Amino acid sequence: MPQVKFVDLGRQYELLREEILEEVDKVCRKGDYILGHSLKLFESAFAEFCGVSYAVGVGNGSDALYLSLKVLGIGPGDEVITAPNSFIATAWVIAHTGASIRFADVGEDMNLDPISVQNAITPKTKALMPVHLTGRIAKMDELQKIADENGLYLVEDAAQAIGATYNGKRAGSFSNCAGFSLHPLKNLHAAGDGGIITTDSSELYELLNKYRNHGLKNRDDCDFWGINSRLDTIQAAIALIKLKHLEIWNKRYQAIAAKYSESLKGLVSVPTHANHESPVYHRYMIRTEKRDLLQSFLDKKGIETKVNYPVPLHLQPAAANLGYRKGSFPVAENLCKTILSLPAYPELHDHEIDFVIETIFEFFSVTS
């Protein structure tokens, strides 16, 4: 048993247990399970939180991205450009529309590098899908400019960035459609799988409402073949309770990150950000050439850490047909070898943070 777990979901549940059980009970008593009242409430609260007109709850974050691409009409013959240092879903959602995945390298911020994106554009490119990795928003001013100049759609993979801001605007408000995940490991989560899409377009909103519900426009009439991917009313009710706490939780993520960075900056490379950015530190990632040694040292001391993610998407066996190789994206590949995510979640205790910091100091005093 680790002394400091990477995440301890039980702590948050204890805090909200009564409120959650009460809301779940209400939904069950009414049998309001599918497309119910709390889903509507959550969708409007979420749209307001992100500063957009509409939000549509779906089955998970991957479907949120997949449906975003589908309603924009992306399909066979098209190309979508995204980052190679992300979770698997970022790639498969593109592949499953029938479009081709094009990767571009990332910058020191770990997010899409605008110059590399510019170089990856071809006449077939239809959309850019930046990933706001670790809860830090990609360089949206430059990416928006590239999208405008080349007539491309923008879809944010905002799965890790709920509440993050860039030039004062929140994640999910920079693109045609943005996909968020409510997976239990994300800053705002349900009690299982869940996802939500934000958009400012009433037209896309109407399409998304149908697409997630078989393509039905009413009980019996189907405009096109959709899929079944709706956010359960129970999950929406739980997420709505948590949304009220999100700003406080995100501040705690930021405070934990500040404490780690202040203490560790002389030993390892720590995340930084500019004044116009406010990342939410879904992951707190340090970088060091001694990553593997440090990780096993921490493990022996009872501190659980993760690598998000060790294998870049373009080097996955699933990507073999795309024609990339080792060396295609040097920055992303180097990140995969040097990054380490430390325990960082709102309910983490100060003495646990201190223990992680002390143990990292101990590692560097014995190895250097």
Ligand X SMILES: *Cc1c(COP(=O)(O)O)cnc(C)c1O
Residue type, 343: P
Instruction: Report the C-alpha gap between 139 and 124 in whole angstroms.
Output: 23
> Distance between CA atoms of 48 and 63, rounded to whole angstroms?
21
* Minimal distance, residue 162 CB to ligand X, in Å: 11
- Binding-site member from 12, 60, 235, 278 for ligand X (CB under 6 A): 60
- Which C-beta is closer to ligand X: that of 39 or that of 267? 39
Count CA atoms closer than 13 A to 260's CA, side-chain side: 29
* Closest to ligand X by CB, 136 or 360: 136
The stretch near ligand X (CB under 6 A) out of 152-160, 262-270, 312-320, 344-352 is: 152-160
Binding piece for ligand X, criterion CB under 6 A, among 85-93, 233-241, 248-256, 264-272? 85-93
Closest by CA to 34, choosing from 184, 219, 207, 285, is 219
3-class SS shares of the chain: helix, strand, coil, % to 5 = 45, 15, 40
Question: Which parts of the chain are beta strand (E)?
Answer: 54-58, 79-82, 100-103, 125-129, 153-157, 165-166, 169-170, 177-181, 195-199, 277-278, 284-287, 339-342
Contact between 175 and ligand X by CB under 6 A: the answer reads: no
Closest-CB residue for ligand X?
61
62 is a site residue for ligand X (CB under 6 A): yes
Question: Which range, of 55-63, 111-119, 240-248, 266-274, touches ligand X by CB under 6 A?
Answer: 55-63
Among 131, 237, 267, 319, binds ligand X (CB under 6 A): 131
To ligand X, the closest distance from the beta carbon of 302 in angstroms equals 26
Taking CB under 6 A as the rule, does residue 170 contact ligand X? Answer: no
Distance of closest approach, residue 143 Cβ to ligand X, in angstroms: 16
Our finding on whether 138 is near ligand X (CB under 6 A) is no
| Residue closer to ligand X (CB basis): 79 or 157 | 157
Q: Could you give the strand order of the β-sheet that contains 169-170, starting from the edge strand earlier in sequence?
A: 169-170, 165-166, 277-278
The per-residue b/e assignment along 310-341, b for 16 or more CB within 10 angstroms, e otherwise, is eebbbbbeebeebebeeebbeebbebbebbbb
Return the bridge partners of 54, or none.
Answer: 199
Q: What's the min distance (Å) between Cβ of 82 and ligand X?
A: 10
In the bound complex, what is the minimum distance in angstroms from residue 189's beta carbon to ligand X?
A: 9
For residue 22, the minimal CB distance to ligand X (Å) is 26
Query: How many whole angstroms separate alpha carbon 107 and alpha carbon 97?
Result: 27
Give the range of 43-51, 120-128, 156-164, 228-236 binding ligand X by CB under 6 A: 156-164
| 282-311 residues near ligand X, rule: CB under 6 A | none
Closest by CA position to 180, among listed 62, 51, 345 = 62
Q: To 5 degrees, how large is the angle CA 14–CA 15–CA 17?
A: 60
Contact 86, 130 (CB under 8 A): no
Number of residues this chain uses to bind ligand X (CB under 6 A): 15
Site string (86-125) toward ligand X, x via CB under 6 A:
xx-xx-----------------------------------
Cβ-based nearer residue to ligand X, 132 or 359:
132
The site for ligand X (CB under 6 A) is made up of 60-62, 86-87, 89-90, 131, 157, 159-160, 181, 183, 193, 195
